[in-house]
């Protein structure tokens, strides 16, 4: 991947900015496209992960054990559990991979979304929806995301340091045995939510 192609992936020197007027209705299509670009060239994306470390800042937060966050354009912020060490680990892992075939979008794997904030905040809602999906189709891995910009969402899923999954998202998205992906997303009020499901 040459320099211009990397900039189309996500330029660390010019990270994407949120668009207040955009509804991000194309998020499922864009994030699957992004994931498949990384699967096709994981070694090049490792460089981008390392470049993105320049945006990690120290910010005192009693709820964040490392006091580290990643900050893009002073507008997109995500707390990190372990910080730089996980970015380096993710880059190293991607460099160990050979190109992978693309995931195929499958609407049968799409997990229905909440209709309101009550359902959104109910920890049992997502589990219930996954159970319903599994009654009609196979699902091996499922998870949520809350970042509306595909390039940033994708970066943080491949690094996988913004939750307690300890790399499970990264491993799933780069699993050579998984073939299908379903993604649903929407805004509920001013909150963005996306559901992912992957299967063989």
* Domain assignment of residue 67, yes or no: yes
Rounded to two decimals, the pTM is 0.87
* Domain assignment of residue 100, yes or no: yes
Q: Mind listing the pLDDT tens digit for each residue in 129-139?
A: 999 999 989 99
Quote the pLDDT of residue 123.
86
pLDDT higher at 163 or 106: 106
Q: From CA 133, how far away is CA 101, in angstroms rounded?
A: 25
Give the three-state DSSP class for 24: coil
Q: Mind listing the pLDDT tens digit for each residue in 19-77?
A: 666 778 899 999 999 999 999 999 999 999 998 888 888 766 666 555 667 777 666 77
| Range scoring the smallest mean pLDDT among 1-5, 59-63, 151-155 | 1-5
For 50, the token pair is 């390392």
* Domain assignment of residue 8, yes or no: no
By the 10 Å C-beta count (0-12 exposed, 13-18 middle, 19+ buried), 32 is classed as buried
Average pLDDT over residues 167-195: 94
Output the domain CATH number for residue 40: 3.40.33
Q: Across the chain, where does the E strand assignment appear?
A: 56-58, 68-72, 76-79, 104-105, 141-145, 180-188, 191-199
Confidence category of residue 170, pLDDT binned at 50, 70, 90: very high
Check the CA dihedral 137-138-142-148 and report its sign: negative
Considering its fold, how many domains does the chain have in total? 1
* Domain assignment of residue 12, yes or no: no
Of 65, 59, 95, 72, the residue nearest 153 (C-alpha): 72
* Domain assignment of residue 16, yes or no: no
* Domain assignment of residue 69, yes or no: yes
* Domain assignment of residue 112, yes or no: yes
* Domain assignment of residue 5, yes or no: no
Q: What's the mean pLDDT when you consider all of the chain?
A: 85
Parent domain of 76: 25-199
Which residues does residue 188 pair with via DSSP β-bridges, in sequence order? 191
Average pLDDT over residues 4-13: 52
């Amino acid at each position: 991947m040459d320099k211009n192609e990397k900039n189309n992936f996500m330029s660390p020197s010019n990270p994407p900015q949120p668009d207040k007027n955009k509804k991000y209705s194309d998020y499922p299509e864009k994030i699957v496209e992004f994931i498949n670009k990384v699967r096709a060239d994981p070694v090049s994306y490792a460089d981008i992960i390392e470049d993105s470390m320049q945006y990690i800042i120290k910010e005192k937060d009693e709820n964040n054990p490392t006091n580290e966050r990643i900050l893009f354009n002073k507008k997109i912020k995500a707390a990190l559990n372990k910080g730089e060490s996980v970015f380096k680990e993710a880059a190293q892992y991607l460099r160990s991979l050979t190109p992978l075939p693309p995931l195929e979008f499958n609407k049968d794997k799409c997990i229905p979304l909440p209709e309101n904030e009550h359902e959104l905040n109910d920890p049992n809602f997502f589990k219930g929806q996954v159970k319903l999906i599994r009654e009609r189709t196979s699902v091996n891995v499922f998870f949520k995301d809350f970042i509306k910009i595909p390039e940033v969402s994708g970066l943080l899923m491949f690094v996988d340091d913004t939750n307690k999954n300890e790399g499970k998202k990264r491993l799933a998205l780069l699993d050579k045995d998984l073939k299908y992906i379903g993604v649903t997303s929407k805004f509920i009020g001013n909150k963005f939510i996306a559901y992912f499901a992957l299967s063989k």
